[in-house]
Amino acid sequence: MGIKVLVVDDSKTQRAVVKEALKGYEGISTVYEAENGIEALKIMSSDNVDLVLSDIIMPGMDGYSLLKNIENHKGWDHIPIILLTAKSEMDDRVKGLKQGAWDYLVKPVKPVELLTRIHVMLRIKSLQDKLKNRIHHLERLSIVDGLTGLYNKKYLYDFISGELKRSERYGLSVSCLMMDIDRFKQINDRFGHQCADHLLKQLGTLLNEIIRGYDFAARFGGDEFTVILPQQRIREDAFLVAERIRKRV
């Protein structure tokens, strides 16, 4: 997938100059144009943008207001923003950088310098994206059982604690199902760990298929599993779920 760039400037001529310069950057597939911050936000709401090049002085919504809106949007705070403006005073540069701009270029912009700054910004963004993905992966590893794909025992306790507090606050019921595999040790001894692990994986997959979206399944340890059923109105509902699981197994 190519790089998508958004050029924001109330001058059609300036947008054309920037678009012409962007032709020299390999990898850019789409260049969006907006006359002001309002149009820019509409474009960003409809498609993912990898880089924003924005003027400061524009009618309707200027560059500073655009920066503020982008910074306050959780899904956009990782997008590099380079300000392109005729305002060359140091105070203007500092204000733009403080409000979320990644870089600042004074018009008229030299194509070589613009492409160099874009290359640096996109490289930084790529490194940040990789770091965020790595952190997300590590966070998932800390709460998920690596064998079954279900939540682990540590996260189970955190979840139960939160659900009990919520049930007490709103007068709701919480059901807890505990289960284990009959004669699991015999299976392990006779057929080996690989077969036993495969069985545990299958049970994890099965539990994920059976439970509802707001129910919670975890591997308690060994061949023991737990299913938490929040918002159960009557105890019989939990028995029905337990019986459905038993029959599927």
- Domain with 120 in it: what CATH number? 3.40.50.2300
Average pLDDT, the chain: 88
- Report if residue 147 sits inside a domain: no
* 132 shares a domain with 178: no
* CA distances (Å), origin 156, targets 58, 151, 227: 52, 7, 9
Domain boundary among 91, 117, 141: 141
Q: Is pLDDT above 70 for 34?
A: yes
pTM above 0.75, yes or no: no
Tens digits of per-residue pLDDT, 58-68?
998 988 899 99
Q: How many domains does the chain have?
A: 2
* 134 shares a domain with 23: yes
- DSSP secondary-structure letter at 110? P
Structure tokens at 195: 């077969």
* 53 shares a domain with 172: no
**Host domain of residue 239:** 153-248
* 218 shares a domain with 110: no
* 175 shares a domain with 199: yes
Q: Is pLDDT above 80 for 79?
A: yes
Structure confidence at residue 131 (pLDDT)? 82
